[in-house]
Amino acid sequence: MKTTAKDFFLHLAAMVSLYAGTIALLNLLFRVINVAYPQIDRYFFGPSISLPVAVLIVVFPLFLFLNNVLRKSYEQEPERKQLAIRRWLVYITLFVTGIAVSGDLITLIYFFLDGRELTAGFLLKVLAVLVVTGGLFSYFLQDLKDGLTPTIRNYWRILAGILVIGSIIAGFTVIGSPRSQRMIRFDADKISDLQSIQWQIINYWQQKGSLPETLTDLTDPISGYSVPKDPQSKEDYRYRKVKGMVFELCADFNTEATSATNLTKPYMMGGEVSESWMHKTGMQCFERTIDPKLYPVRIPGLY
């Protein structure tokens, strides 16, 4: 039977939606695992699950719809199951999922034989890849052998639905609701603003040999720098000269940073500086002391 344009795009759209949904599902599961079992060097703001959840909400029902359309066309014209486009896509899917399952098991065995620590987070990621890709491999292998009866097909749909919906619920349970994600994003923006202000203060010190009296002193119409405001309250950040080369920057946070220290790595005098921006909920102040060896005052005419 000759492949029509409709056949080509229906099969292609079904597979694209399947691949997109699979990637989004694994992405979501990995992000949930990263939060539930954080790595030591993980950035302390929780990863956003917005994109993988949005992809799943759209492509999973789309795949079920397209798959149902194709199934009905196979029932009406059984010879359509032998179309070249279908068999190519099924074999490609079996090939890709087979590699994923094999690679997953190889990674697990390698880590075990190499004496590396098999953490709960790592094992859960291995399990997630094995369940998702292994399930796809089994489904399409049965489909290729015409072993998918209506009852078995419904079982697969129920299992897929439970996995997808359960992953989305787990994501919101572990990482938080859309509102909490918005609060975390506000906090991340505040930290970014404080970092920007901090380096402007250091630059001010290097240029003038003293700390600014207020944040307004940092405004520079020539360079175009203007001091950012709190993106949530639209108010100025708090700044205070403590003494000598010591100053404080403060912001009001919505959430508590509960994981590893965030590192900023500015290039200055050939070195890197590690700074903690860990904070609790509410007003939090960060005290900073300028190191004159790292940030010497610039003498006019030498730079």
What pLDDT tens digit does each residue of the chain (303 aa) get? 677 788 888 888 888 999 999 998 998 888 888 877 765 443 444 456 778 888 888 999 999 899 889 888 888 888 888 888 888 899 999 999 999 999 988 988 988 888 877 888 889 999 999 999 999 999 999 988 888 888 998 999 999 999 999 998 888 887 777 788 888 889 999 999 999 999 999 999 998 889 999 999 999 888 888 999 999 999 999 999 998 889 999 999 998 876 533 434 443 333 444 467 888 999 999 999 999 888 898 765 544
Question: Which of 146, 176, 206 is the endpoint of a domain?
Answer: 176
Last residue of a domain, one of 159, 176, 193: 176
Q: Do the domain assignments include residue 296?
A: no
168 and 192: one domain? no
pLDDT of residue 266: 40
Same domain for 136 and 234, yes or no, is: no
CB neighbour list of residue 23: distance below 8 Å, 6 or more residues apart: 55
- H/E segment holding residue 46: none
Examine the domain organization and report whether 171 and 188 are in the same domain. no
Domain coverage including residue 163: 5-176
Q: Based on the domain organization, do 131 and 210 belong to the same domain?
A: no
Q: Is the residue at 55 inside a domain?
A: yes
Say if 85 falls within a structural domain: yes
State residue 179's pLDDT score.
81
> What is d(CA 258, CA 273) in angstroms, rounded to the nearest whole number?
21
Same domain for 162 and 188?
Answer: no
* 34, 28 contact by CB (below 8 A): no
pLDDT value at position 243? 87
Residues 22 and 161 in one domain: yes
In a domain, 300, yes or no: no
Residue pair 83/1 in contact (Cβ under 8 Å)? The answer is: yes
**50 and 165, same domain (yes or no):** yes
Residues 60 and 118 placed together within one structural domain of the fold: yes
Last residue of a domain, one of 156, 176, 196: 176
Give the pLDDT of residue 127: 92
In a domain, residue 247? The reply is yes
Pair 44, 258: CB distance under 8 Å: yes
Do the beta carbons of residue 34 and residue 68 sit within 8 Å?
no
pLDDT at position 303 is 46
- 297, part of any domain: no
State the Cα–Cα distance between residues 194 and 199, nearest whole angstrom: 9
Same domain, 201 and 90: no
- Residue 5 has what pLDDT? 82
Helix/strand/coil for 282: strand
Same-domain status, 148 and 227: no
The answer to whether residues 160 and 242 belong to one domain is no
Q: How much is the pTM? A: 0.64
301 located within any domain = no
For residue 148, being part of any structural domain is answered with: yes
Q: How many CB atoms neighbour CB 130 within 10 A?
A: 15
Both 188 and 271 in one domain: the answer is: yes
Structural domain count, the chain: 2
